[in-house]
Amino acid sequence: MQALKDRIILEGTVLPGEVLKVDNFLNHQIDVAFLDEMGRAFLELFPDCHRATKVLTVEASGIAIAMPVARLLSVPLVFAKKAKSSNIDDSYYVSNVRSYTYDKHYQIILSKKYMTHTDHVLIIDDFLARGEALSGLIDLVNQAGASLIGAGVAIEKGFQPGGRKLREKGYDVRALATIAAFENGSVRFSEE
Protein backbone atom coordinates (compact mmCIF):
# COMPACT_ATOMS: atom_id res chain seq x y z
CA MET A 1 0.00 0.00 0.00
CA GLN A 2 1.88 3.00 -1.30
CA ALA A 3 0.13 5.56 0.92
CA LEU A 4 1.21 3.62 4.00
CA LYS A 5 4.81 3.39 2.80
CA ASP A 6 4.78 7.13 2.15
CA ARG A 7 3.57 7.86 5.68
CA ILE A 8 6.13 5.52 7.22
CA ILE A 9 8.89 7.34 5.30
CA LEU A 10 7.50 10.75 6.18
CA GLU A 11 6.35 10.26 9.77
CA GLY A 12 7.93 7.06 11.09
CA THR A 13 10.87 7.14 13.46
CA VAL A 14 13.50 4.41 13.57
CA LEU A 15 14.77 3.82 17.09
CA PRO A 16 17.67 1.71 18.34
CA GLY A 17 16.93 -2.01 18.35
CA GLU A 18 15.23 -1.85 14.94
CA VAL A 19 12.07 -0.38 16.44
CA LEU A 20 9.82 1.58 14.08
CA LYS A 21 7.54 4.09 15.77
CA VAL A 22 4.42 5.12 13.87
CA ASP A 23 2.79 6.81 16.83
CA ASN A 24 1.62 9.67 14.68
CA PHE A 25 -1.15 7.78 12.90
CA LEU A 26 -1.32 4.17 14.11
CA ASN A 27 -0.08 3.43 17.63
CA HIS A 28 -0.82 6.39 19.85
CA GLN A 29 -2.52 9.05 17.78
CA ILE A 30 -4.88 7.40 15.31
CA ASP A 31 -5.75 8.87 11.93
CA VAL A 32 -9.17 7.29 11.64
CA ALA A 33 -9.77 8.14 7.98
CA PHE A 34 -6.37 6.70 7.06
CA LEU A 35 -7.07 3.51 9.00
CA ASP A 36 -10.30 3.21 7.01
CA GLU A 37 -8.17 3.36 3.85
CA MET A 38 -5.92 0.66 5.29
CA GLY A 39 -9.04 -1.39 6.00
CA ARG A 40 -10.02 -1.22 2.33
CA ALA A 41 -6.48 -2.21 1.34
CA PHE A 42 -6.71 -5.33 3.57
CA LEU A 43 -9.89 -6.36 1.74
CA GLU A 44 -8.01 -6.18 -1.56
CA LEU A 45 -5.18 -8.30 -0.13
CA PHE A 46 -7.57 -11.12 0.78
CA PRO A 47 -10.00 -11.90 -2.07
CA ASP A 48 -11.59 -14.57 0.17
CA CYS A 49 -12.24 -12.19 3.05
CA HIS A 50 -15.96 -11.90 2.32
CA ARG A 51 -16.38 -15.41 3.72
CA ALA A 52 -15.25 -14.09 7.10
CA THR A 53 -17.63 -14.38 10.04
CA LYS A 54 -15.21 -12.79 12.53
CA VAL A 55 -12.21 -10.48 12.54
CA LEU A 56 -9.73 -11.31 15.31
CA THR A 57 -7.00 -9.13 16.80
CA VAL A 58 -5.23 -8.61 20.12
CA GLU A 59 -5.42 -5.62 22.42
CA ALA A 60 -4.45 -2.83 22.48
CA SER A 61 -3.30 -1.22 19.25
CA GLY A 62 -4.61 -4.07 17.12
CA ILE A 63 -8.14 -2.90 17.91
CA ALA A 64 -7.79 0.34 15.96
CA ILE A 65 -6.55 -1.26 12.76
CA ALA A 66 -8.91 -4.27 12.92
CA MET A 67 -12.08 -2.27 13.52
CA PRO A 68 -12.36 -0.73 10.03
CA VAL A 69 -11.89 -4.20 8.50
CA ALA A 70 -14.71 -5.63 10.62
CA ARG A 71 -16.89 -2.65 9.68
CA LEU A 72 -16.27 -3.15 5.96
CA LEU A 73 -17.02 -6.88 6.25
CA SER A 74 -20.06 -6.30 8.51
CA VAL A 75 -18.89 -8.91 10.98
CA PRO A 76 -18.01 -8.73 14.69
CA LEU A 77 -14.51 -7.85 15.81
CA VAL A 78 -13.14 -10.00 18.61
CA PHE A 79 -10.00 -8.96 20.43
CA ALA A 80 -7.94 -11.41 22.44
CA LYS A 81 -7.08 -10.03 25.86
CA LYS A 82 -3.77 -10.08 27.61
CA ALA A 83 -4.48 -12.10 30.75
CA LYS A 84 -4.16 -10.09 33.94
CA SER A 85 -4.76 -12.80 36.50
CA SER A 86 -3.68 -16.38 36.90
CA ASN A 87 -7.17 -17.74 37.61
CA ILE A 88 -8.41 -18.17 34.05
CA ASP A 89 -11.20 -20.71 33.95
CA ASP A 90 -11.95 -23.14 31.17
CA SER A 91 -14.38 -20.79 29.44
CA TYR A 92 -11.35 -19.33 27.64
CA TYR A 93 -8.92 -20.45 24.99
CA VAL A 94 -5.44 -19.57 26.24
CA SER A 95 -2.18 -19.17 24.33
CA ASN A 96 1.30 -18.29 25.54
CA VAL A 97 3.11 -15.45 23.84
CA ARG A 98 6.70 -14.35 24.26
CA SER A 99 7.31 -10.62 24.18
CA TYR A 100 10.82 -9.78 23.01
CA THR A 101 10.21 -6.09 23.56
CA TYR A 102 9.64 -6.57 27.27
CA ASP A 103 11.55 -9.88 27.58
CA LYS A 104 8.77 -11.83 29.23
CA HIS A 105 5.95 -14.25 28.53
CA TYR A 106 2.30 -13.43 28.75
CA GLN A 107 -0.97 -15.17 27.98
CA ILE A 108 -3.63 -14.09 25.54
CA ILE A 109 -7.14 -15.33 26.12
CA LEU A 110 -10.32 -15.56 24.07
CA SER A 111 -13.73 -16.49 25.42
CA LYS A 112 -15.01 -19.72 23.90
CA LYS A 113 -18.35 -17.96 23.42
CA TYR A 114 -16.92 -15.74 20.70
CA MET A 115 -15.28 -18.29 18.43
CA THR A 116 -16.46 -21.76 17.41
CA HIS A 117 -15.78 -24.35 14.70
CA THR A 118 -18.36 -22.68 12.46
CA ASP A 119 -16.36 -19.43 12.24
CA HIS A 120 -14.23 -18.22 9.34
CA VAL A 121 -11.65 -15.88 10.76
CA LEU A 122 -9.54 -13.09 9.33
CA ILE A 123 -6.77 -12.00 11.72
CA ILE A 124 -5.66 -8.36 11.58
CA ASP A 125 -2.80 -6.83 13.57
CA ASP A 126 -0.52 -3.83 13.35
CA PHE A 127 3.00 -5.31 13.35
CA LEU A 128 4.65 -8.58 12.42
CA ALA A 129 8.26 -9.16 13.40
CA ARG A 130 9.13 -12.41 15.16
CA GLY A 131 5.52 -13.52 14.80
CA GLU A 132 4.93 -14.39 18.44
CA ALA A 133 1.65 -12.51 18.83
CA LEU A 134 0.36 -13.70 15.47
CA SER A 135 1.26 -17.31 16.29
CA GLY A 136 -0.72 -16.92 19.51
CA LEU A 137 -3.76 -15.64 17.63
CA ILE A 138 -3.54 -18.49 15.10
CA ASP A 139 -3.27 -20.92 18.00
CA LEU A 140 -6.52 -19.51 19.46
CA VAL A 141 -8.28 -19.94 16.09
CA ASN A 142 -7.03 -23.53 15.89
CA GLN A 143 -8.14 -24.28 19.45
CA ALA A 144 -11.61 -23.07 18.49
CA GLY A 145 -11.57 -25.39 15.48
CA ALA A 146 -12.42 -22.37 13.35
CA SER A 147 -11.28 -21.91 9.77
CA LEU A 148 -8.52 -19.34 9.23
CA ILE A 149 -8.82 -17.28 6.06
CA GLY A 150 -5.53 -15.51 6.65
CA ALA A 151 -3.65 -12.95 8.69
CA GLY A 152 -3.12 -9.38 7.55
CA VAL A 153 -0.68 -7.02 9.20
CA ALA A 154 -0.13 -3.37 8.51
CA ILE A 155 3.66 -3.47 8.73
CA GLU A 156 5.92 -6.51 8.47
CA LYS A 157 9.58 -6.44 9.35
CA GLY A 158 10.59 -8.71 6.48
CA PHE A 159 14.13 -9.10 7.83
CA GLN A 160 12.79 -10.88 10.92
CA PRO A 161 11.67 -14.51 10.69
CA GLY A 162 8.02 -14.36 11.83
CA GLY A 163 6.34 -14.01 8.46
CA ARG A 164 8.50 -16.59 6.70
CA LYS A 165 7.97 -19.19 9.44
CA LEU A 166 4.21 -18.77 9.37
CA ARG A 167 4.05 -18.91 5.56
CA GLU A 168 6.15 -22.08 5.59
CA LYS A 169 3.48 -23.61 7.82
CA GLY A 170 0.95 -22.83 5.10
CA TYR A 171 -0.74 -19.77 6.60
CA ASP A 172 -1.77 -16.96 4.27
CA VAL A 173 0.05 -14.02 5.85
CA ARG A 174 0.09 -10.68 4.04
CA ALA A 175 1.30 -7.18 4.84
CA LEU A 176 0.31 -3.75 3.61
CA ALA A 177 3.97 -2.70 3.79
CA THR A 178 7.02 -4.92 4.19
CA ILE A 179 10.27 -3.46 5.45
CA ALA A 180 13.36 -5.03 3.92
CA ALA A 181 15.84 -3.22 6.14
CA PHE A 182 16.57 -0.19 8.23
CA GLU A 183 19.54 1.62 6.73
CA ASN A 184 21.12 4.52 8.59
CA GLY A 185 17.88 5.34 10.35
CA SER A 186 15.74 5.22 7.23
CA VAL A 187 13.43 2.55 5.89
CA ARG A 188 13.88 0.42 2.77
CA PHE A 189 10.81 -1.49 1.65
CA SER A 190 10.68 -4.89 -0.05
CA GLU A 191 9.64 -5.01 -3.69
CA GLU A 192 6.01 -6.05 -4.15
Residues that bind a second copy (CB under 8 A): 23-24, 28-33, 36, 59-61, 63-64, 67, 70-71, 74, 76-79, 81, 84-85, 102, 111, 113-114
Q: Which is nearer to a second copy, 70 or 176 (CB)?
A: 70
Least distance CB 26 / a second copy (angstroms): 11
Nearer to a second copy among residue 80 and residue 176 (C-beta): 80
Q: Smaller CB distance to a second copy: residue 26 or 173?
A: 26
Minimal distance, residue 71 CB to a second copy, in Å: 5
**149-184 burial, b for 16+ CB within 10 Å, e for fewer?**
bbbbbbbbbbebebbeebeeeebbbbbbbbbeebee
SS (H, E, C) 122-177: EEEEEEECCCHHHHHHHHHHHHHCCEEEEEEEEEEECCCCHHHHHHHCCCCEEEEE
Nearer to a second copy, 42 or 171 (CB): 42
Q: In whole angstroms, how close is the CB of 164 to a second copy at the nearest point?
A: 28
Give least dist CB 181 to a second copy, A.
27
* Under 8 Å between Cβ of 125 and 163: no
